[in-house]
Amino acid sequence: MPITQGQGVSALSPAPAADTRAGGTDRRVRLPFRTRLLPGAAPALALFAAIRLTGLAAIALANHYMGHPLLKGLAHSWDSRWYLHIAQHGYGTQTHVLATTGAVQRDWAFFPLYPALIRVVYTVLPLTPGAAALLVAWTAAAVAAYGIYTIGYRLYGRAVATALVGVWAAMPHSVVLDIAYTEPLLTALAAWSLYAVLTRRWLWAGVLAALAGLSRPTGFAVAAAVGAVAIQEIVRRRGRVPVGLWVGTAIAPLGWVGFVLWVGAHTGDLFGGYFTVQRAWDSRFDFGVGSLHFLKGLLAHGGRAVYPLALVIVVAAVLLFCLLCLDGAPLALIVFAGVLVLITIGGSGPYASKPRFLLPAFPLLIPLARGLARSWRLRPKHALLIGATLAVASVAYGTYLLTAGHTPL
């Protein structure tokens, strides 16, 4: 059962108002997080670090036996190269022409927040752009893990929160948290924006949602969650809502909308230019037509293990979303996860990448985390075995994807 106010929510409640005996008011900025770690957060973060560091060690070991540099691929694989180029040279400086179709792929398809952070870090610190990219990604992954713990703790308590962080760290495609990709950054911003929504810190929710919209094309899912809860509040309270709700809700989509319009302006088609750029990457919302073609081809001709597993993960995500809804999760989590699932199913593009798109959808893992927490109370050895199996499988599969697999992540 969800935690009651007396069980643990009080530890996360907004700070009490300042003493106003002298007629003063509290002008402090209410951050969307506590300045001290929550109870149990340190072990949960240690678990997260242990799983991901084991993954890095496995990648280094595999590269060693293959005669490659130990950390080959972490900062310069697939999309990472585009982000690094943007960080160093800006937009409009790199294109790629597909030999098969002649489509011109442009760097405008990649959102700006991650390369901007990379540039700031390697400008300020004595690091190479690749090292800066990894530092940003790894820091974001840690911030995301704590944000996920905070949400789990607020809603269900320490055991579920710890399980939620552990399961997120041990997903099949969690190797993406180890490389220079944007999923850790989006997850971090999404988790804290959603937490701000849960605690009714509307301005923070809007600002973080706007930043999430600048991190990835799917970042608008955070703004959708903020907007859905805002509408719910407006209806429930008959319009008697604080000004911060209106302002935060208005801010939330500005990051995503602003970049889309910026790309449109540079292409000469304000409202359609960005989507033209994305189509060159075979990235568009086709209402699942591409997914059906993939399924048909997979059933007819088969494929490497990566593709059936991708299908299994997508199907599992749909089932977990149904369980999340039945579980009575907060609307913000349902909308955020639902939008990501909808984009994953209804979008075109390489099917092998779809599990990566679902990595930020951590609310989908809440039913699994609650089940593991119950199992830990009743049969701790079984829960430990399940968790260890997930972690080992994640490390092994992630190592394969990054060192031996030739499928784009």
CB contact at 8 A, 30 and 179 = no
Cα first-last separation, the chain: 37
Taking the model in full, what pTM does it have? 0.89
- H or E element in which residue 106 lies: strand 104-106
Spell out the per-residue pLDDT of the chain, length 409, in tens: 444 333 433 333 333 333 333 334 344 556 666 668 899 999 999 999 999 999 999 999 998 888 888 777 898 888 899 999 999 999 988 888 876 777 788 999 999 999 999 999 999 999 999 999 999 999 999 999 999 999 999 999 999 999 999 999 999 899 999 999 999 999 999 999 999 999 999 999 999 999 999 999 999 999 999 999 999 999 999 989 999 999 999 999 999 999 999 999 999 999 999 999 998 888 888 777 877 877 777 777 666 778 888 889 999 999 999 999 999 999 999 999 999 999 999 988 777 888 999 999 999 999 999 999 999 988 989 989 999 999 999 999 999 988 887 777 7
Q: Looking at this protein, which amino acid is placed at residue 174?
A: S
Structure tokens at 404: 């031996």
Size (the chain), residues:
409
Token pair 């799983």: residue: 51
Q: Rounded to whole angstroms, how far apart are CA atoms 221 and 227?
A: 10
Q: Looking at this protein, which amino acid is placed at residue 169?
A: A
Closest CA to 324 of 369, 292, 359: 369
HEC letters along 318-352:
HHHHHHHHHCCCCHHHHHHHHHHHHHHHHECCCHH
